[in-house]
Amino acid sequence: MKILQLCKKFPYPLKDGESIAVTYLSNALYEQGCEITLLSMNTTKHFTNVGELPPDFNHYKSIHVTDLDNKIKVFDAFKNLFSKESYHVSRFISKEFENKLIELLEQENFDVVQLETLYLAPYIDTIKKHSNALVTMRAHNVEFEIWERITNNTSFLPKKWYLKYLTEKLKRFELNRLNDYDYLIAVSERDLKQFKHLGYKNGAMASPIGLNLGNYARIIPGQNLNNMCFIGALDWMPNLEGLTWFLQETWPLLHKKFPEITFHIAGRNTPSSLLQKREQGINVHGEVDNAIDFINQYPIMIVPLFSGSGMRVKILEGMALGKVVVTTTLGKEGIEAEHGKHLLIADDPESFIEAIENIHKNPGLVRSIGQNAKQFVEDFYDHNHNANLLLNRYRELKNNPKYVH
């Protein structure tokens, strides 16, 4: 099976959920005999020096990148107020990327062109014009849903109005392109149902994000329960929004009740205001070299999310390492884990404090949740198993004339 994988940002280093999702799946497909070509934008926001990739990043037959300046520009954002185009999407439209895509499609006969996220949808017409490949959309989220939730959580009225305006255009784009791809791959059953509710009519399946479980085999036992952590890309608004809420609304109360607790914070593109934070009990690490090593140091992982969509990979990573994850109802969305068995759910300051208090009073609960969490991820989120199911579906689709253009 020859697959061309299209990405809006280069899927390395593995410091955010999208990069992990892309890399683990492509690696698993390669191990099952697929020939995978990568075409990725290399953006200013998440620039990667492709010449310095590690030797084990070798699962692609070939790697092609085109540079893209996707920084948010005030003048362009202002002009977009008078345009019907989605500003979210237009920042990823590149003539250089399109030309490289055409070149690859004319050089090789791919069985599948797999789009990683909605932001590659503008290139569907180009793909269909130059190839008979099956066009699949791997939807990491219901994209407009993220921004609807961010908008609803925004209180400053001018910003709320502007976000609402941008979200409406993103939603219109997402719904207009919904049935343009041949097959949809949603990351959860919940998202799959949502896409169908929104009007998706073509073939589809839920294929959860998988982890390379061998990377999570080393678990550090017997840790100090007075240490807890947060890790997440802090240039992704839902992460920053949730962490800010936790620091403002929950941390003062929690620190007063448990003054011995230290909260360790790490994340890519940590804002300078947070890096300069000097407050007792808070340790801001900034970007760390290895997320797995960071999470592994602490028995408790805090994931306070109130917007977003899809599936939170960092929660799966924490569970795979046997940590007690304390997250919100929305944070758990898309992950069929049970409160009190695989993780703990808290949606307000009082319930977060109650969860931490419960952890301190019941060390046995920490052990049981950690063991159950690890087993849960092993049962449902192994990247090889999930890639095998997806590959079998691709083979079925290629043998079905309905999906030939």
With 60 as the cut, is the pLDDT of residue 404 above it?
no
Q: In this structure, are 124 and 246 located in the same domain?
A: no
Domain hosting 253: range is 214-380
Q: In this structure, are 395 and 364 located in the same domain?
A: no
Q: In this structure, are 260 and 284 located in the same domain?
A: yes
pTM of the predicted protein model: 0.91
Q: In this structure, are 376 and 390 located in the same domain?
A: no
**Segment 312-324, tens digit of pLDDT:** 999 999 999 999 9
Question: Quick one: pLDDT at residue 211?
Answer: 94
How many separate domains does the chain show?
A: 2
Question: Quick one: pLDDT at residue 296?
Answer: 94
Q: In this structure, are 387 and 376 located in the same domain?
A: no
- Tell me the pLDDT band of 222, cut-offs 50, 70 and 90: low
Q: In this structure, are 109 and 224 located in the same domain?
A: no
| Cβ contact 279:302 at 8 Å | no
Helix ranges, 132-236 (H): 143-152, 157-176, 189-198
| Cβ contact 68:43 at 8 Å | yes
Question: Quick one: pLDDT at residue 405?
Answer: 46
CATH of the domain at 362: 3.40.50.2000
Q: In this structure, are 167 and 30 located in the same domain?
A: yes
Q: In this structure, are 176 and 279 located in the same domain?
A: no
**Segment 390-403, tens digit of pLDDT:** 999 999 998 875 65
CA 15 vs CA 29, 113, 169, 178, 229: distances in Å = 21, 25, 29, 29, 16
Q: In this structure, are 269 and 357 located in the same domain?
A: yes
In the sheet that 62-68 helps form, which strands lie side by side, from edge to edge?
62-68, 35-43, 2-7, 112-116, 134-139, 183-186, 203-206
Task: Provide the token pair at 110.
Answer: 């791919």
Q: What is the DSSP string of 92-146?
A: T--HHHHHHHHHHHHH---SEEEEESGGGGGGHHHHHHH---EEEEEESS-HHHH
- Provide mean pLDDT across the span 29-45: 96
**Segment 258-288, tens digit of pLDDT:** 999 999 999 989 999 999 888 899 999 999 9
With 80 as the cut, is the pLDDT of residue 9 above it?
yes
Question: Quick one: pLDDT at residue 401?
Answer: 57
**Segment 329-349, tens digit of pLDDT:** 999 999 999 999 999 999 999
Q: In this structure, are 197 and 278 located in the same domain?
A: no
Q: In this structure, are 300 and 343 located in the same domain?
A: yes
Q: In this structure, are 25 and 109 located in the same domain?
A: yes
